[in-house]
Structure 1
Amino acid sequence: MGFPGTWMTESESMVYRVVPKCACSTIGQIMYYSDHGRFFDGDIHDAQEGLHKWGIEASQGPITANVEAHRSFAFTCVRNPYTRILSSFFDKICGIQRNGRRYRGNLVPLLVQKYGIEVGSPEDGFEFDQIKSFRRFLLFARDTIRWKKPMAADIHWSAMSGHISTFIANGGRYDAIFWTERFNEGMQGVLDRVETPVPVSLDDIPRFNESEGHGPKRAHPVEAYFDDLSMHLVYEIYKRDFQLFRYDFENPANKLPTGEIDLDEVHVKLAG
C-alpha cells in the first residue's frame, strides 16, 4: 500500500499527507519554496520535479524510508466538512477545469441524468438553483461513499479521515494536524519546528487557490445549503471527521473547530 497522497521536500525537512480541498495547493507551494526559494510555475499538483510525491515512482523509496523511520516532521491539514463538500461541489461539479473541460469527462452528464442536478455554464453566467442542485449532489456523494455507486467515491469528497488513515495504517505518525480555518497559525507551527534550506515568511506567501474562478460563485451563506436532511446526510458521510477534528456538526454556520485535536486519539482510531 505504501504512502499514497504523501509529499516530502527534497531536503526531507518535512512530510505532508495531502487532503484534497484543504489548502493543499498552498501547502505544496510552501514546501517547494522552502527548498528552492521560488514557487512552482503552475499548479503544484502538476509538478514532476522539485518535490517528492508518492505518485512519482522515484520518490517512493525516499518517502518510505523517511516515514517508516520518522526522520522528518510529518503533518496534514483538515477543513470543516460542510465547507469542504460545498467547495468540492462548486469546483469539481459546477466548475470548468484547468484543461477547459468538465471534471472527469462524463461525470456531470451522469449527475444531470441520474440525479437531476443542474450546474449552469459560462454561457449563462452559471445561473441555476444552487441549493437544490447541491442537495441532490449530496445524495450522489453519499451513494458513492456508502455503496460505491454509480461510481467509487472521488478523493475530493471522500472523508478526510480516510485519506489521513492510510498514512497511519502503513506505519506513519503525524506530528501535527491543523485546521484550514486557522491556516497561518497551523502552518507557522510546522515551520517553527523544521529547518528549511530557504526561510519562509508566511506573511509573504500568496494563497494558491487553483480552483478559484473556474465556476460559479457561492450565492448563499454556508448554512443555507443544509436543511435537516442535508445535515443528516453530511453526518452519515463525515461523522468521524466531525468527531476527530472537532468540528461543529450542529451548526453549519460555525466553520471553526470547537476544541483541540487529540493526536493520540487520531492515531488509535485511524490505525485499523
Structure 2
Amino acid sequence: MGFPGTWMTESESVVYRVVPKCACSTIGQIMYYSDHGAFFEGDIHDATDGMHKWAFETSQDAISDNVTSHRSYAFTCVRNPYTRILSSFFDKICGIQRNGKRYRGNLVPMLIQKYGIEVGEAPDFEFDQIKSFRRFLLFARDTIRWRRPMEPDIHWSAMSGHISTFIVNGGRYDHIFWTEKFNDGMQVVLDNIDTRHDILLGEIPRFNESEGHGPRRAHPVEDYFDDLSMHLMFEIYKRDFQLFKYDFENPGNKMPLGEIDLDEVHAKLGD
C-alpha cells in the first residue's frame, strides 16, 4: 500500500502525512518555502514539482526509503472533529471549488435528492445551515459505516484512518500536533529539522484555499450538534476524540483536554 497522503521536502528535511482539513495547505507551503525560499504560487495541492508527494510515481521510492528507515523527522496535524466536519460541509458540500464547479460533480445533486439537504446559491447562500448540516452528517455516517451511497471521502473520513496508514506500512511519527495550537506545534517541527531557508512562523500567512468560495458559518459550533448529531459523531470519530484528546461532551470547546500520547497512537493505530 505504501504511504498515501505523504509529502516530503525535496531536501528530505521533513516528512508530513497529510490529513485533509487540518491546516494542510499552510503546512505544505511552509515545507515548500523551507526548501525554496518562496511560497508556491497557487494551491500547494496543485504543485507538481518542488516537493515529493506519494501521488507522484517518481517520488514513491524516495518517500518509501526515507520513511521505512526513519531518516527524517515525521509529523502530522489533527483538528477537533466537530470543527473539521463542519469545515468539510461548508467547503466541499456548500462551496464552489477552485475549478468553478461543485465538488465531485453529481455529489451535491445526489445529496439534495436523497438526503434533502440545501446548499444555497451564490452570492448570498441563504439556507437552513443547521438542518442541512445534520442531514449531511447522516450521509457522512452512511459512507463511513456502510460505504453507501458511496465510499467515504477523504475530507470527512476519520483522521485516525489517515494517520494509521503511515504506521501500518512501517512509518513512525515524531510529532502530532493540533491545528488549534498551530504555531506551538509547528515550531516543535522546525526546531527539530534543518531547513535551507529560515521560517518565522509569526510572519507566515494562513493558506485557506477554501475561504470565500461558499457560505460562512452562521452559528456557533455547538448549535449544529443536537443529541443525535453528537451520537453520530461518536459513532464515526470515537478514536479521533480519544487518541487526540478532544472534548466529545462539549462541541463548543475546540481545544484539546490533554496531551497526545505518541506511544498510544502507534499502539492503537498500528494493528
Using the size of structure 2 for normalisation, the TM-score is: 1.00
* Other structure's SS at 1:7 match: strand
Shift of 1:263: 0.1
- Deviation per CA, 1:65-106, whole angstroms, max 9, x where unpaired? 000000000000000000000000000000000000000000
RMSD across aligned positions (CA): 0.4
Aligned to 2:167: 168
Q: Distance in 1 between matches of 2:74 and 2:8?
A: 9
1:36 paired to 2:42: no
Aligned to 2:266: 267
Aligned to 1:95: 95
Structure 1 stretch displaced more, 194-203 or 15-24: 194-203
* Other structure's SS at 2:38 match: coil
Q: Distance in 1 between matches of 2:42 and 2:63?
A: 24
* Other structure's SS at 1:122 match: coil
Unaligned runs of 5+ in 1: none
Q: Distance in 2 between matches of 1:153 and 1:53?
A: 22
* Other structure's SS at 1:34 match: helix
- Deviation per CA, 1:4-56, whole angstroms, max 9, x where unpaired? 00000000000000000000000000000000000000000000000000001
Aligned to 1:117: 117
Aligned to 1:105: 105
Aligned to 2:219: 220
Shift of 1:204: 1.1
* Other structure's SS at 2:182 match: helix
Shift of 1:61: 0.5
Aligned to 1:55: 55
Q: Distance in 2 between matches of 1:41 and 1:107?
A: 29
1:234 paired to 2:233: yes
Using the size of structure 1 for normalisation, the TM-score is: 0.99
Residue type of the alignment partner of 1:77: C
Aligned to 1:6: 6
Aligned pair count reads 271
Q: Distance in 2 between matches of 1:219 and 1:97?
A: 20
Residue type of the alignment partner of 2:179: T
Q: Distance in 1 between matches of 2:32 and 2:121?
A: 35
Aligned to 1:190: 189
Q: After the TM superposition, list the runs of 4 or more consecutive aligned residues in structure 1 that deviate by more than 4 angstroms.
A: none
Q: Distance in 1 between matches of 2:246 and 2:210?
A: 24
Aligned to 1:77: 77
Shift of 1:203: 1.0
* Other structure's SS at 1:87 match: helix
Unaligned runs of 5+ in 2: none
